[in-house]
Amino acid sequence: MKKEQLAVKRCGICNEEKSVDNLTPTTDVFKPLAEMMTKEQPDWLQAGYVCSKDLNHYRDRYIHELLRKEHWDTNQLELEIKGILSDDQRKRERLKEVDPPLTRGQKLADQVAKFGGSWKFIVSFATIIVLWVSINAFELFLHPFDPYPFILLNLILSCVASLQAPVIMMSQNRQEKKDREHLENDLQVNLQAELEVRMMQLKMDHLANEWIHLLEIQTMQFELLQHISHKLE
């Protein structure tokens, strides 16, 4: 009679008395599983045992909860990646808009600035001045059209300088704006690189969580196999 009493214990979950062979000590229950049981049955540890039926029930629930959480985490990761890729696409489109089509005035200003800042302009202008001075100073013609002190030449040089300066400034202002836009886009590219690193970190964190969940499931499977092996013995 004493042996029969010792062979029967109460389950802390269902409060039914069952054979010890059909019970698992509370100390052997997987810790996350025990925490789930404690949330619903705060006093279940006092019994010292849990039956196989209730233990399997909580195992199924825990695995289902893990899979549901894993599915939710995967969806969240996909949404974050889609958001990052969408931002990347918008930034790429913005990069394409940095160089808008030039107007005729802008093209002319660029050409004038390019020509005015070259050796070709210096040599050409120096040649014209030498010819002008030679023709009018050495009286190659009986009636020079611009005798010394070359008032017409001074007027032309003044007009060229007064017109060339604002044209070059227009070109420089546009180039400065263009450089500023390129600098902003470089900043956006750097930010995008940071986002890609963040995306990689999210993937690594997700894989780490998956690994933890797989270990938990494997631990419960091992406990279940041990329980089945104990029953077969």
Q: What is the pLDDT of residues 134-151, one digit of tens each?
A: 877 766 556 777 777 778
pLDDT over 60 at 217, yes or no:
yes
**Contact yes or no for 49/10 (Cβ under 8 A):** yes
pLDDT at 231: 61
- Evaluate if residue 181 carries a pLDDT over 60: yes
What angle is formed at CA 45 by the lines to CA 41 and CA 47, rounded to 5 degrees?
Answer: 105
Encode pLDDT of 80-101 as tens digits. 777 766 766 666 666 555 556 7
pLDDT > 90 in the chain, percent = 0
- CA-CA-CA-CA torsion sign (178, 180, 186, 187): negative
Q: Identify the CA nearest to 128 among candidates 101, 150, 103, 96.
A: 150
pLDDT mean across residues, the chain: 76
Share of the chain above pLDDT 70, in %: 83
Mean pLDDT value across residues 113-141: 79
Q: What is the pLDDT averaged over residues 28-50? A: 82
| Residues in CB range of 50: below 8 A, 6 or more apart | 11, 12, 13, 23, 24, 26, 29, 37, 44
Per the listing, tokens 């006093």 go with 43
Least confident of 33-47, 60-74, 133-147: 133-147
Band of the pLDDT at 155, cuts 50, 70, 90? confident
- If pLDDT is split at 50, 70 and 90, which confidence band does 184 have? confident
